[in-house]
Structure 1
Amino acid sequence: MANQVQTIFLEEWLRSNSGSSISSSIQSSSSSARAIIQAWADLRDSLQNQSFHPHHLQSLKTLLSSQMSLYVADPQAKLLLSILSSSNLSLPRESHPLFLRLLYIWVRKSSKPSSLVVDFAVEILSRLFSAQFGSNKSSLFFAEGVLLLGAFSFVASTSERSKAVCLELLCRLLEEDYQLIGSFEGLIPIVLAGLGYALCSPGNVYFVRILDSLFGIWNKEGGPSASVSHGLMILHLIEWVLSNFINSNYLDKINLFARETLETRKPTYASFAVVMAAAGVLRASSRSLSSNLMQIRVSAEKQIEIVARDIISKSRGLTISINEPGNGHILHCISLALARGGSVSPQPALLMCLASALLTEIFPLQRFYSSILECFHGNPAGRGLKEVKEHMDSAIFKEAGAVTRVFCAQYVSADEGSKSTVENLIWDYCQDVYLCHRQVALMLRGVEDELLLDLEKIAGSAFLMVVVFAFAVMKHRLDSRFKQETQMEVSVRILVSFSCMEYFRRMRLPEYMDTIRGVVVSVQENEWACVSFVESMPPYNHLTNQQGSSSLHKMEYMWLKDEVQTARILFYLRVIPTCAERLPASVYRTVVAPIVFLCMGHPNGKVARASHSIFVAFISSGKDSNQDERVSLKEQLVFYYMQRSLEGYPGTTPFEGMASGVAAIVRHLPAGSPSIFYCIQSLVEKASSLCNEVVMTRENDLWKNWLGESEPCKKVLELLLRLLIVVDIQVLPSLMKLLAQLIVQLPKDGQNMVLNELYAQVAESDDVTRKPTLVSWLQSLSYLCSQSTSRRATKEAGREVNAASTWNIVTLGLNRINARL
């Protein structure tokens, strides 16, 4: 269960298992062996001299500073008891908790403490506590007293009479001075450990009374405020008790007491304690084969369900109001109880509580956003940062993965009504997170980056929760049992939700990819689903104008810097090509095209490339119910596509994206389409402009090697050369003419480079229709290039070359061409 130190000191084991930052009431460091020996010697002197001075108090502290490694034997315990019982010594009040802690170390670390010494200790403690009943006890003395009395009752060598005395005193302390617990957080694990020891005391006739104190403390005015760490301590306390001492009679008492508590006490803290105790039963039973323990597991589940139903009945909407006193604590407890208690039977109330806990308590992004937005004109960042960091360090946030797994397991086994309810809650939550985080990110970025980063860490965990849940929904809903309409509706909602959370995706999850593949197949098979998904995309005017609170309208908005929105749009741009076949031309014209052309100029390369992919998908798409409208739209869009692509090249336009767009245009538009002619003319003009820039900058080395270069002019030229093999025969003459005009204007090295590339390309062609035409054209082009070269050489040298010499050069060139082709 735990390592040796944790097993010896139950309070430390409770602290570690609760994920609590609560420190021990007595700080433990380490003292040297010499200091420990001297401390014991000083205490013996104190008893012999019947005097207690400040340095004796320091000796007690020296011993306790090494309590984890300190060993207290029976003789040393007698020394401590003698000092406590001496009527001649005036001990300061602050020394009493220290004496009790040393005696606790003795009784817990000793393998078999002397029964006589134990009985003597109980007698002294009885007098000490009896004298202080009704007086103002310190909180630490109260807690250490409960711990020591519980530990004595747990020791086998303690006589039955002494056990009864210890348990009676313990119950009196709890019933009369319970309010002392709340004065110091560090006392709670100490008191609970004392109760745990007492509950495991063999033959304990005070069992129910101690249970009543355990649950009652959290129900009485002045008791400790409920918190997750306290709840986890109760959970693991019950687990420890049941794991150490399983008795069917005691189990029945636990079961009966918890049931009666729920029936007679409705306050929040009673429910809080009962839920965590039931979770302890669940956890212990999941690790044990005891038939006795398994018998009350069902009852423990029932107790948690009763509390869940009670909190659900008080809610007015689909989610549980966190403004109701104690609701947040109860949701924490139910979530942790189910996460740490093991699998439980599916219940609608449990499913709803888990959903509300995840959305309002584990990932309380909406609460954080509201607080930040409300205080925008003030100075909320300091408070907001502290609140967010505290949540990230909390036990409930650290259990997010475990709670999500339980939530999904409950969902799978729930009825259809409950399934639909929680699905809608999750999908709506995604929309809200997107809208709010977009505003908050624009506010905080560059101003409070640390706060923004922490918010995004929480949102990143929420993204993982959404993905795991969506994967469970996809596997359940995309089944032949459900109507196609239901499958398509759920698929669209999952895609929209993923788009809202896309900004927070930091890893490539298998569940994420599998879910997208599954729902995309469902969507792309139906026109309604495709249109529904596309129309859920933020409209053009929302992309370019800030939407949200009025205070943000005063901020200068740059849509290119809106990273949250960009991530969402990129998700749409990647998915839309999969449903291009089913997308009507009218929807593409009004919804998709404006956003596609806008995003072509986005500096984010992923966004720009995805925009080109959508254009390619649409140009390549098949039939439409109105085929003439679809073809007409394709041709219309080509003109604007070429303008947008070329004006951003080189720069924002990715060449690969533009090249794929041009290839789609020449392959899929009707033969001889004016759009194809325009496309080719635009490319030639761009290539000419880029080549002129190279000539003006005198980058002559650029033309010496075709391969391995990435200059824009070479890329466009290469694209034009590839089109010679692709364009239809009606367009080919125009392309050859425009290319020839461009090539002859190039420098000699440029001409030779392009001609060599053309030689290889035409020689490898298997197109028997166009190859003769290309061969003839290439011969003429070679001649024209040689002519332009001769004229350029003549002009530069200041002399003329006779016609015969020129003709010989041309003849030799043509012979070379024919031989290579």
Structure 2
Amino acid sequence: MAKQPQSFFLEEWLRSIVVINSNKDGSVRTSSSAQAIIQAWADLRDSVQNQSFHAQQLQALKTLVNSQTSLHVADPQAKLLLSILSLQSLSLPQESYPLFLRLLYIWVRKSRQISLVVDSAVDILLRIFSQQSQSDKNSLFFSEGILLLGALSFQTSASEKSKRLCLELLCNLLEEEHRYLFLSDELASSTLAGAGYALSSSVSICFRRILDILCTIWGRKGAPAASISQGLMLLHLIEWVLSNSLNLRSLDKIDLVRELLENDEPTQSSFAIVMVAAGVLRAINRSGSSGFMPLRNSAEGRTETVARDLVVRTKGLDYNGNHHRFNLLLQCIALALARSGSVSYRAPLLVSLALALLTEVFPLQRIYNKIFKFPEDWSVVLEEVKDHLSSLIFKEAGAVTGVFCNQYASADEDSRSTVESLIWGYCQDVYMWHRQATVMLVGRGDQLIREIEKLAESTFLMVVVFALGVTKHRLDTRINRDTQLQISLRILISFSCMEYFRRMRLPEYMDTIRAVIVSVQENESACVTFVESIPSYDDLINNHGSSNLPKMEYRWSMDEVQTARIIFYMRVIRTCVDRLPPSVFKKVVASTMFLYMGHPNGKVARYSHSMFVAFISSGKDPSQDERVLLKEQLVFYYMQRSLEGYPGITPFEGMASGVAAIVRHLPAGSPPIFYCIHCLVQKATSLCSKVSSDDGDLWKNWEGELEPPKKVLDLLFRLLAPVDIQVLPSLMKLLAQLIVELPVNGQNMLLNQLYQQIADSDDVIRKPALVSWLQSLSYICSQGTQKKGSELSGETVYLNRTKARL
């Protein structure tokens, strides 16, 4: 059963549903003191006694109305108000009438009334509406009048005759003054609450008539434009009314509602009928009863009819969210289904929900189009984005996504494929749009970018939740294997496009990745397809935006949207590199990998080094000559690319992992290993030569300027253990040549480090040779610079002997 209003006033409950932020009629509700309330009633009594009505009495009415939350109006006060209204000698100002009606409404809702007083109130209201010119009344007067008439018809203390009169007048006002009753949410809430009371009256003579009016009122000529907030109020009003009918088993009213839904009248507003149907479904779902299937079927069927018609019309227009007359209806369907509760699967509902998500809940295309069309006037777009982030439809994004996924779970394969294509295509579009927008706005529209990214972050969450649902229902044994691979690939590519907007750790994200990557890893063709979807090298370094956009300077390393996507590819490719043919890696991956090794962000550059390590470590079968050949070819450029950026750009940890992979995974004695070691020694020598040898403390501690060469030397020292025996003598020789050229403090520091490292080694094969080498190196260093030249030639002979022994 629907949750009953938390106050005495139905209109306040309706307002709380949509959280009205402004009081359009200007009546601010503030609580007055008890003394002020007593004085206000006294001023009104003076009006009757003195047969006059002045500003003092008008202020008294305002004081009382502003205290409606705590105000209690009993029969004596109601009689006072009615006597003032019935006095023919008084000339009441027009603005006083809504105040009188509001106070009488408080009396009706909060007090036990005497039937005689209620009937007299009805008579006076009928006279007020009939005798005075309606042109003198304002919108507030009509809405307050409908609210009071509805409340009177709902009260048990009113006679059946009075209820009938109230209902007839209420219907006439709804039909004749509808263009004034929905100009604001404040007015609409009072009008709808009055209609709700009337629909719940024990006299149901006007029940169907009121429903018909509510379902046609927004479609009539001259009626104000419908709004989502008013639609939601209508939805929950129908829920409230029908919950009472379901609870009381008012079969006559239930049948009338079903008839309304089944009769597709041309005058009915699609906006209103969808909200009425949603209110019906919500009431049934919350009642917990399964005995209203005909009514449920009618509500679901009518919503499906509206959705099908909308999908057909938008498809014919190549709908992209720029047709205003469809925007509201899409939002209406999305919110209606989100608040209805359980709804049976129907294909048009699924497609309309997808359209609503992509064009109304997350209207990124509409926003980007305005930026591209008016690149110099984006302040208006900023306000539009801010307004959308606080809108009702955006706040319901999670609920709409949930009902969309529920519909998808029960859908047929064709419908699933349709909405999947919409979502995956949207992801690629968002990537392109946001990349262009950030290039245009960076430095001058940063606030707009931040606001758009708030919207895009929520879009990412929707995509992840949907993708997880796709994996649960489409990646099973019942689905064709090729179809599964295609779905997995499209999810991965879509995630790569949305990766920039992933600002938090999501279990759903990781679960989806794990579900789809398994099938891709096991299939070479799928691996190749995924890798070939990576942006081309030309696209990476150049911004080929729309020809309509102004030409701007573009630096690939500053493009964070693109960088996030490439990082995603590198993470995924590492997991399937064993299945990737070397030719594809060389053609597609290598150029991108080496490009991003020069990225100024060390974290990004490390991903490229990790990609290199993954490839060098791949392919355990030594018979794969093509893969081994490519590995050796890549080493030469890898060392050049890494060392030219060290220590400024290249992250040492990334380079160290690459070097370790080279010496561990290339064939023993491979020329690239010799080249790698030679390059490292050259780099260390070059870095050391740039540092003054006169600063003893600097060389003693290897800090400051000497920290980069010290890291390279540490790396070379660590290679003494894993490097193969064929390469070890060359490494020892090059290290010896480097160390003896250093200042004494530097030599001592490095010799001590080597001593500690060799002493801790448990490699019984290498240790004897390393000990002998270290002793010889220590001896040469101790002889001083005069003997370095002659001794080194002798050391070469010794190292050759060491090589033979090994």
Report the alpha carbon displacement of residue 515 of structure 1 after superposing the two structures with TM.
0.9
SS at match of 1:264: coil
**Where in structure 2 are the equivalents of 1:447-458 lying within 5 Å?**
447-458=444-455
Q: What pairs up with 1:605-754 in 2 under 5 angstroms?
A: 605-622=602-619, 627-696=624-693, 698=695, 700-701=697-698, 703-704=700-701, 711-754=707-750
In 2: Cα distance, 1:72 partner to 1:291 partner: 42
Q: Deviations over 1:616-659 (max 9, x none)?
A: 11111116899333222211111111111111111221111101
CA pair 183-287 structure 1, distance change in 2 beyond 3 A: closer
- Superposition CA RMSD, Å: 2.3
* C-alpha spacing 1:750/1:205, structure 2 compared with 1 (3 Å): same
User: 1:182, 1:222 within 8 Å by CA — same for their partners in 2?
Assistant: no
Task: Map Cα deviations across residues 243-275 of structure 1 (whole Å, 9 max, x no partner).
Answer: 334312111111111221xx22266xx111111
Residue in 2 that maps onto 1:478: 475
Structure 2 residue 219 is the aligned partner of structure 1 residue 235:
no
Paired amino acid for 1:219 = G
d(CA) in 2 for partners of 1:693, 1:476: 63
Counterpart check, 1:86 vs 2:92: no
Query: 2: distance between equivalents of 1:2 and 1:693?
Result: 80
Q: Is the 8 A contact 2:15 2:186 kept in 1?
A: no
- Asked if the contact 2:48–2:84 (Cα under 8 Å) also holds between the matched residues in 1, the reply is yes
Q: Identity rate of aligned residues, in percent?
A: 64
Partner in structure 1 of residue 127 of structure 2: 127
CA contact (8 A) 1:740 1:781 kept: yes
Contact 1:285 1:294 in 2 (8 A): no
Maintained 8 Å contact 2:499/2:564: yes
* Paired position in structure 2 for 1:221: 221
Deviation of the 1:55 alpha carbon: 2.0
- What's the offset of the Cα at 1:277? 0.9
Contact between 2:691 and 2:706, CA under 8 Å: does it hold in 1? no
Distance in structure 1 (CA, Å) of the matches to 2:123 and 2:706: 93
Cα distance in 1 for partners of 2:622, 2:479 equals: 28
Aligned to 1:465: 462
**1:534: which partner in 2?**
531
* Aligned residues of 1:248 and 1:293 also touching (Cα < 8 A): no
Distance 1:183 1:388, change over 3 A: same
- Aligned-partner residue type, residue 335 of structure 2: L
The 2-side partners of 1:627 and 1:770 are apart by 30
Q: What is the match of residue 797 of structure 1?
A: none
How many Å apart are 1:125 and its aligned residue?
A: 0.5
1:818 maps to: none
Whether 1:167 and 2:167 are equivalent positions in the alignment is yes
SS in structure 1 of the partner of residue 721 of structure 2? helix
- Distance in 2 (CA, whole Å) between partners of 1:183 and 1:90 is 28
Kindly provide the CA deviation profile for residues 280-328 of structure 1, in whole angstroms up to 9, marking residues without a partner as x.
1111122213455565223211221121122123233697564556322
**Secondary structure in 2 matching 1:204:** coil
What is the deviation of 1:136?
A: 4.7
Query: Distance in 1 between the 2:289 and 2:128 partners?
Result: 41
Asked if 1:186 corresponds to 2:186, the answer is: yes
Aligned counterparts of 1:375 and 1:787: Cα–Cα separation in 2 = 77
Distance 1:294 1:74, change over 3 A: farther
- Contact in 2 for aligned 1:312/1:320 (Cα 8 Å): no
Hey, what's the Cα distance between the residues in 2 that align with 1:326 and 1:345? 27
Moved more, 674-683 or 218-227: 218-227
Q: Distance in 1 between matches of 2:527 and 2:566?
A: 16
Determine the C-alpha separation between the residues in 1 that align with 2:781 and 2:316.
80
Cα 1:400–1:30 change in 2 (3 A) is same
Amino acid at match of 1:257: L
Distance in 2, matches of 1:46 and 1:553, equals 72
Equivalent residue letter for 1:304? T
Q: How far off is 1:671 after superposition?
A: 1.5
Q: Residue deviations 1:586-632, cap 9 Å, x none? A: 11112111111110010122210000011111111116899333222
The alpha carbon displacement at 1:406 in A equals 0.8
Offset of residue 505 of structure 1? 0.8
1: CA distance, partners of 2:721 / 2:290:
80
User: For the residues of structure 2 that align with 1:469 and 1:317, how far apart are their CA atoms?
Assistant: 26
Whether the aligned pair in 2 keeps the contact of 1:690 and 1:713 (CA below 8 Å) is yes
C-alpha separation in 1, matches of 2:552 and 2:621: 44
Cα distance per residue 1:186-209 (max 9 Å; x no partner)? 211110000000000013211111
1:747-777 CA-partner distances (Å, limit 9, x unpaired): 3332223222222322333333322221211
Matched, 1:203 2:206: no
Q: 1:400 to 1:627 in 2, by over 3 A?
A: same
CA distance in 1, matches of 2:694, 2:67: 80
**Which residue number in structure 1 is paired with residue 32 of structure 2?**
31
Deviations 1:658-710 (A, max 9, x none): 0110011111112111111110011111112223344458262553489x999
Residues 326-370 of structure 1: per-residue CA shift (max 9 Å, x gap): 322221111111111112111111100000000011101001100
Q: Distance in 1 between matches of 2:317 and 2:5?
A: 47
- Taking the aligned partners of 2:771 and 2:662, their CA distance within structure 1 comes to 25
Contact 2:65 2:103 in 1 (8 A): yes
Distance 1:166 1:133, change over 3 A: farther
Distance 1:587 1:567 in 2: 22
SS in 2 for 1:653: coil
For 1:113-124, list aligned pairs within 5 A: 113-124=113-124
Deviation at 1:400, TM superposition (A): 0.4
Seen in structure 2, the aligned counterparts of structure 1 residues 625 and 671 have a Cα distance that, compared at 3 Å, is closer
**8 Å CA contact retained: 2:351, 2:419:** yes
Q: How far apart are the structure 1 equivalents of 2:669 and 2:577? A: 24
The aligned residue for residue 331 of structure 1 is: 330
2:167 touches 2:198 (CA, 8 Å); kept in 1? yes
3-state DSSP of counterpart to 2:720: helix
Q: Distance in 2 between matches of 1:661 and 1:554?
A: 39
Q: Which residue number in structure 2 is paired with residue 55 of structure 1?
A: 56
Counterpart CA distance in 1 for 2:187 and 2:106 is: 17
Partner in structure 2 of residue 565 of structure 1: 562
1:416 pairs with 400, 413, 418, which one? 413
CA distance in 2, matches of 1:702, 1:118: 102
| Distance in 2 separating the partners of 1:577 and 1:46 | 88
1:224, distance to aligned residue in structure 2 (A): 2.9
Q: What is the deviation of 1:721?
A: 0.6
CA separation of 1:189 and 1:297: change in aligned 2, threshold 3 A = same
Offset at residue 135 of structure 1 (A): 4.3
Aligned pairs for 1:355-374 within 5 A: 355-374=354-373
Q: Secondary structure at the match of 2:733?
A: helix
TM-score (norm 1): 0.92
Take 2:10 and 2:765, find their aligned partners in 1: how far apart are those partners?
Answer: 90
Matched residue, 1:258: 261
Match of 1:767 among 763, 768, 772: 763
Matched-pair contact (CA < 8 Å) for 2:245–2:254: no
Is residue 433 from structure 1 mapped to residue 430 from structure 2 by the alignment? yes
Do the aligned partners of 2:699 and 2:706 also contact (CA within 8 Å) in 1? no
| CA–CA separation in structure 1 for the residues paired with 2:354 and 2:5 | 38
Deviates more, 1:731-740 or 1:783-792: 783-792
- Going from structure 1 to structure 2, the CA distance change for 1:353 and 1:221 (only over 3 Å counts) comes to same
**Partner of 2:675: helix, strand, or coil?**
helix
Partners of 1:394 and 1:571 in 2: CA distance: 32
2:593 match: 596
Q: Which runs of 5+ in 1 are unaligned?
A: 793-805, 807-821
Give the length in aligned residue pairs: 785
Give distance in 2, aligned partners of 1:322 and 1:4.
37
- With over 3 angstroms needed to count, the CA separation of the structure-2 counterparts of 1:50 and 1:2, relative to structure 1, is farther
Q: Is the 8 A contact 2:102 2:148 kept in 1?
A: yes
1:287 is aligned to 2:311: no
Counterparts of 1:499-538 in structure 2, within 5 Å, are: 499-538=496-535
CA contact (8 A) 1:619 1:668 kept: yes
